[in-house]
Structure 1
Amino acid sequence: MGILSAMTKSVGGLNAQSFALENISGNIANTQTTGYKRTETSFQSLLASNGGRVSATTSGGVTASSRATNDIAGSIDSDDSPTSMAIQGDGYFVVRQKAGESDGNSIFSSEDLYTRRGDFSVDREGYLVNGSDYYLSGLKLDPDSGNPVGDAVDLIKIDTKGIGAEVTTKISYELNLPEVPLTQNATNFPDTPDSEKWDLNGATAIPATVTADDSDQFEENSITGSAITCYDANGTPVNLQFRWAKVDNSLATDVNSTDTWVCYYKSDSEATGTADKWTQMATYEFTADGQLNAIDGDTTATSVDLTGLTIDGATIGDVTVRHGTGGLTQQADSNGTVSISEKDQDGVPAGDFVDVEISDEGKVIANYSNGRSVPIFEIPLVAFAGDSALRRLDGEAYSPTSESGPAVYGASGSIVGSSLESSNVDLGDEFTKLIVTQQAFSANSRAITTANDMLSEVLNIIR
């Protein structure tokens, strides 16, 4: 009888709306859950067999099923934690679960799982674990080259040991020399022509060194070029001081040169008598417009190689001083002093581990007390052909199914450091669906009541 069928269909409607209510309430409960993907409800009609007669077809019942929204991203918000990360676009992190402990050390499942929840932090053993207790996997990087060590993806474990010292091998030294240097001699004799130049007493060559006895006269006729701290192989800091003296241009090696300078560094601050105190680094020639023309007679040079550099008895070794293209000029300066535009070197002392952070390139960066930041792991992203068919697990994690296909490394998405992906639940939409579901449930209840009233009328006929 149609009345009984109507009641059955309405009961099915109640069940379907109850199913939808479950999904809606779960979505509302997870509006603040990092990386949560809302579950939508799909409804399908069920038609009874009608023997092929189209005109006899009645509207069917209904059943409900869940539909995942794994492919719909939530908004990305900044986060204070340096180890938090979000995925912009397509992709999932590769994670594993902890299976237990042995002798105080964690044991992990061998099964790879996947998540977009990126609220990771470093645990007591150095692993990166998110708020749902899933542990992050990555590719180990060579700290020197930054290239992956093999292609095996494994759990990321941070090594908190310090790093050793690095000896200085390169110095970047870019500056402007004043056209007229304000030397002590020029100050004492301001009206004397060429008093700002270093008088070499008729010498036909610039001396390779300056002794302690001649140091005062040299310093009176030169200007400071600043100093830079370098490091030997043990990480011991060494103070490298530069000094510049302008000399007579008759010592120039190129006809296009109009001004000649010589730079010295202090090689032995404790030298006395005839011992060398200053050592020549190089001779520099400039054109009339203040551009560098030659270094030690080489018109193509932009750097100076110092072989076996030794300062106050500390041997640094071979060092290249780079001036860069256009980085060394001679232009008028009202103060008559050297103006430094760049001064840096590549050596560092030994450093203690400080912390880690996640870069926007998807790399785990270890920071050390000596200022070094070293990439130690790369975080891969995987994609699925059908990510909405992934099996959902507790804590915003997923496992592959036959419908989703296997994980494929090299997802098109990118990692955003110090950020988190929020839930993709829209609370306003969920409340709208809640009202519609409630009305549909009430309507199905009303249909059952009506069918029951009609059935009662039929039963009353036989009384």
Structure 2
Amino acid sequence: MSLIGVLRTGVSGMNAQSNRISTVAENIQNASTTGYKRTSAEFSSLLLDSGDVGNYNSGAVETTLRRSVSEGGPIASTNSDKDLAIQGNGFFVVSDAAGAPFMTRAGNFVVDGKTGNLVNAGGFTLMGYSLANGTPNPVLNGVADLKPVNVSVMGQEARPSTSATISGNLSFETPVYDPATSTIGYSKKNSLKVYDNVGQPVTLDVQMTKTAANTWSVKFFNPPDATTPVGTATVAFDGNGKVTSGGSTLVQVPNGREIKVDLGGLTQLSGDHALSGTADGSSPTSVSGTAFGEDGTVYAVYSDGTRKAAFKVPLADVASPDNLSPRAGNVFTTSAESGDIQIGFAGAGGRGILKAGALEQSNVDVSTELTTMIESQTVYTANSKVFMTGNELLETLMNLKR
């Protein structure tokens, strides 16, 4: 090996350790970056042809950078219901402003004030399948059908009533109705508030008439002065005041649905009448929030507390995640070594599940990085000594001619 080779070897070693220290600096800098994957420098020897046996030509050190993409970071709870973490394998599919797809584990999403889309800290938009036409079948190697996740497009939502309940006590002391002596056509009256197809509240008049010792006729009217009921029922009680038959009936809501009314909670006991009626449904309400299911379903949460499935977020995966190509913004693209994107739903095909209100932290261990930095510094110093020694030998050689 020539003295020039000594210098070359020393420089190569210093360059290698410089690259290693650079990765350490990047890792420490991103130790608090959501979903960041640590980079490590791996070394391999680069030998030159030495020719005949007994000869030696100094080589160098070749540096290869690897990202530990497949190594998950710890998951920490947060106070935001839009923060998402993947527990297990998979990546979120996101897109940039130009619509190009990327993959990421950074799930710190917020609602963009201009578009209403969910975007992460890197400015990338979360992509998912719209559920407007039902649950889709994911395309294994394509993202063409994915849309920006935006629950604000759901607009207002009216919920027509589909069921109701009337409960309480019908007084045992109520006399059997006698049309010849009664001035009204019923024994007891109550009201039930329901909602039609456009969310308009409709008040049904509920007239209850005792037709026998343990039997009551229940009729529903709208409007109250109507002569034809929109629903009827005959409720029978046993000797203990419990319903034995007629515990439910169907009632047609004007401009609405046919709802099932539960009467099984009625009793016929001694004492005063005490009745109450409730129904589901609501007037039009607007979207007030977002909720996520473990399977990736995105729900639009309305101001009345109800929610409706709007999107389903798939998870992407590749054959070799550690060979993905990193891009600015803590995202990745595929490479020839990583394999193509495979799309599927959370909890299926070996993919993980989604955790709302949580974030995956960086997989950087700062103590390990500091140890690596000390090691690299020591080796860098040793290589600089090799270079300095080679330089001194060259100077000695050059001084021989003087």
Q: TM-score range by the shorter chain?
A: 0.7 to 0.9
- Over 3 Å counting, the alpha-carbon distance change for 1:4 and 1:150 in structure 2 is closer
- What SS class does the counterpart of residue 229 from structure 1 fall into? strand
- Over 3 Å counting, the alpha-carbon distance change for 1:149 and 1:213 in structure 2 is farther
Confirm or deny: 8 A CA contact 2:319 2:338 kept in the other structure.
yes
Alignment partners' CA distance in 2, 1:237 and 1:379: 35
Shift of residue 240 of structure 1?
A: 5.2
Correspondence for 1:303 among 248, 255, 261: 248
In the alignment of these two chains, the number of paired residues is 390
Confirm or deny: 8 A CA contact 1:197 1:248 kept in the other structure.
no
- The answer for unaligned runs of 5 or more in structure 1 is 99-107, 184-195, 250-259, 296-301
Alignment partners' CA distance in 1, 2:55 and 2:183: 117
Whether 2:234 is the aligned partner of 1:282: answer yes
Structure 2 residue identity aligned to 1:122: V
Alignment partners' CA distance in 1, 2:20 and 2:257: 74
Whether 2:31 is the aligned partner of 1:42: answer no
2:216 alignment counterpart: 262
1:27 alignment counterpart: 27
What is the correspondence of 1:187-226 to structure 2 with a 5 Å cutoff? 196-200=172-176, 213=184, 215=186, 218-219=187-188
Alignment partners' CA distance in 1, 2:125 and 2:70: 22
Confirm or deny: 8 A CA contact 2:235 2:243 kept in the other structure.
no
1:404 alignment counterpart: 338
Alignment partners' CA distance in 1, 2:48 and 2:82: 57
Correspondence for 1:362 among 296, 300, 305: 296
2:142 alignment counterpart: none
1:319 alignment counterpart: 259
Alignment partners' CA distance in 2, 1:245 and 1:197: 13
Shift of residue 389 of structure 1?
A: 1.2
Residues 149-181 of structure 1 deviation map (CA, whole Å, 9 limit, x = unaligned): 9972233344446334333232256x6x77xx7
Correspondence for 1:423 among 362, 367, 375: 362
Whether 2:358 is the aligned partner of 1:435: answer no
Correspondence for 2:156 among 154, 159, 163: 163
1:154 alignment counterpart: 147
Structure 1 residue identity aligned to 2:70: D
Confirm or deny: 8 A CA contact 1:229 1:238 kept in the other structure.
yes
Structure 2 residue identity aligned to 1:88: Q
Alignment partners' CA distance in 2, 1:454 and 1:462: 14
Shift of residue 121 of structure 1?
A: 1.9
Alignment partners' CA distance in 1, 2:231 and 2:150: 49
| Percent of aligned pairs with the same amino acid | 27
- What SS class does the counterpart of residue 14 from structure 1 fall into? helix
Confirm or deny: 8 A CA contact 2:285 2:302 kept in the other structure.
yes
1:135 alignment counterpart: 125
Structure 1 residue identity aligned to 2:117: Y
Shift of residue 95 of structure 1?
A: 1.8
1:102 alignment counterpart: none
- Over 3 Å counting, the alpha-carbon distance change for 1:94 and 1:292 in structure 2 is same
Alignment partners' CA distance in 2, 1:245 and 1:443: 102
What is the correspondence of 1:69-88 to structure 2 with a 5 Å cutoff? 69-88=68-87
Confirm or deny: 8 A CA contact 1:358 1:418 kept in the other structure.
no
1:390 alignment counterpart: 324
Alignment partners' CA distance in 2, 1:280 and 1:366: 37
Whether 2:199 is the aligned partner of 1:235: answer yes
1:257 alignment counterpart: none
Higher alpha-carbon deviation: 447-456 or 417-426: 447-456
- The answer for unaligned runs of 5 or more in structure 2 is 140-144
Residues 353-412 of structure 1 deviation map (CA, whole Å, 9 limit, x = unaligned): 323333333122212234331111111111001111111100011111111111011161
Whether 2:8 is the aligned partner of 1:8: answer yes
Structure 2 residue identity aligned to 1:171: A
TM-score normalised by structure 1 residue count? 0.71
- Over 3 Å counting, the alpha-carbon distance change for 1:329 and 1:349 in structure 2 is closer
Alignment partners' CA distance in 2, 1:378 and 1:121: 17
Shift of residue 422 of structure 1?
A: 1.5
Confirm or deny: 8 A CA contact 1:114 1:399 kept in the other structure.
yes
- Over 3 Å counting, the alpha-carbon distance change for 1:431 and 1:261 in structure 2 is farther
Alignment partners' CA distance in 2, 1:212 and 1:148: 61
Structure 1 residue identity aligned to 2:111: V
Alignment partners' CA distance in 2, 1:433 and 1:228: 73
Shift of residue 335 of structure 1?
A: 8.6
